[in-house]
Structure 1
């Protein structure tokens, strides 16, 4: 049997959501294109998957550069002998930082939008172009609390994430009837990964057991979305730790 192919865009540290998604899909027998900006991190995730008996390749991609995204999808749709074109695409790129609105520069606002929203447009457009002729496939966008509401100091982040959510909704309505499952996952809470552990290690202890979102648990949900029968597709779901208020 030929091997299926998945693409995960926005992979960073091994103990992060992007890498967890790659490992999850590889464990299900997929060949995974591990895409992100930092070659060393991508190679580490690909090597970890290979050591566990899976199949993956690192693919350096700046999701804000149209030519990079097109090149990635060219590879995804022609992944090599014995492999099928990609039928699972995840856009997981994003950045987050608290900035006083009065101090927010035009350059900073645009950079948040380019990474969090414009990059999602490029990935979504290329996914639609490649998957619609095949009549199948799943495209999942990673959202956040900011997709739904803007908090003080996070206008730049919320604007980008809200825009990404609208891209997801528009794509779902346009391409769902053509066989493409488009979903948006709201990550409502802190993720227990390398980034948070480095920036605010005290948060881990303060939240206690299962007080943060587990990366492998999130990855399980993404896989479940991909495996849903088309008679009952999810367009949007939200995930949070049981201790998180909402």
Structure 2
């Protein structure tokens, strides 16, 4: 963990799981900008620490970098011991994703270990992370849990069984938690990123194509600015509890079809 400034936040902790160079980083930056102490979690601690330095410097915020492997329940528990030691986790954003081939894979060619790893990261990891923070949210009667989904959360796609099964399960988890914990003041929402996520405006990151959240990037017509997407995550967090959103689809005004 890295404490990037000396001043303490008056608000709770925002834990962003699955922070890469695009969407996860933008979400972390947005919550830091709004005054939250932010814990960013991913597998690559070196890169994560650089992001923490950058966000802390730009937003004058406390940012902590914590390594996590969402496919390993022990790693999740140890990571959240660190997160919870910082204080009450008011916000959990689960943006983790197991990379898959962007070329369709014939069903009989999918290895079982690869299938299980994708399920572990996409849904089982989300289950473990949510279990770490829900008790504190229920105790205080407030909290927000946001899950990042994608086009494959809604429709099965030939050749992408791994991705679709994991994302379908994540969506189901989101719906179950919303119905169970909304009466206790915990807002749970599923964000469907239906398109290509590019680098933030002005960034020079090279373009790649993809199907989901943190792995998507693109340029030109049809790509979405991760900073703009992060605004929606913030909006979901501050929504009036009299009218909570449980699921929202985000897509570009000029969609690019795969």
Superposition TM-score, scaled by structure 2 size: 0.85
Q: CA distance change for structure 1 residues 165 and 60 in 2, over 3 Å: closer, same or farther?
A: same
Give the match's secondary structure for 2:156: coil
- The Cα shift of 1:85 comes to 1.2
In structure 1, how many angstroms separate the alpha carbons of the residues matched to 2:113 and 2:205? 23
Deviations 1:37-63 (A, max 9, x none): 001111011000121122201000111
Structure 2 CA distance for aligned equivalents of residues 2 and 24 of structure 1: 16
Secondary structure of the 1:231 match is helix
User: Do structure 1's residue 168 and structure 2's residue 168 form an aligned pair?
Assistant: no
188, 192, 217: which one pairs with 2:194? 188
What are the within-5 Å matches in structure 2 for residues 167-246 of structure 1? 167-193=173-199, 197-198=207-208, 204=218, 208-209=220-221, 211-244=222-255
Matches within 5 A, 1:1-246: 2-13=10-21, 16-52=22-58, 53-79=60-86, 84-95=87-98, 96-97=100-101, 98=103, 99-193=105-199, 197-198=207-208, 204=218, 208-209=220-221, 211-244=222-255
Q: Which runs of 4+ in 1 moved over 3 A?
A: 193-196
Paired with 2:126 and 2:19, the residues of 1 have a C-alpha distance of 14
CA contact (8 A) 2:197 2:225 kept: yes
CA distance in 2, matches of 1:9, 1:90: 6
TM-score normalised per structure 1: 0.89
Query: Any unmatched runs of 5+ in structure 2?
Result: 1-8, 211-216
RMSD: 2.0
- Counterpart CA distance in 1 for 2:218 and 2:169 is 30
Structure-2 separation of matches of 1:182 and 1:232: 12
**CA drift at 1:214:** 1.1
Give, in angstroms, the shift of residue 71 of structure 1: 2.7
Partners of 2:136 and 2:69 lie apart in 1 by: 19
Q: Give the distance between the partners of 1:123 and 1:149, measured in 2 at CA.
A: 25
1:4: Cα distance to partner? 2.5
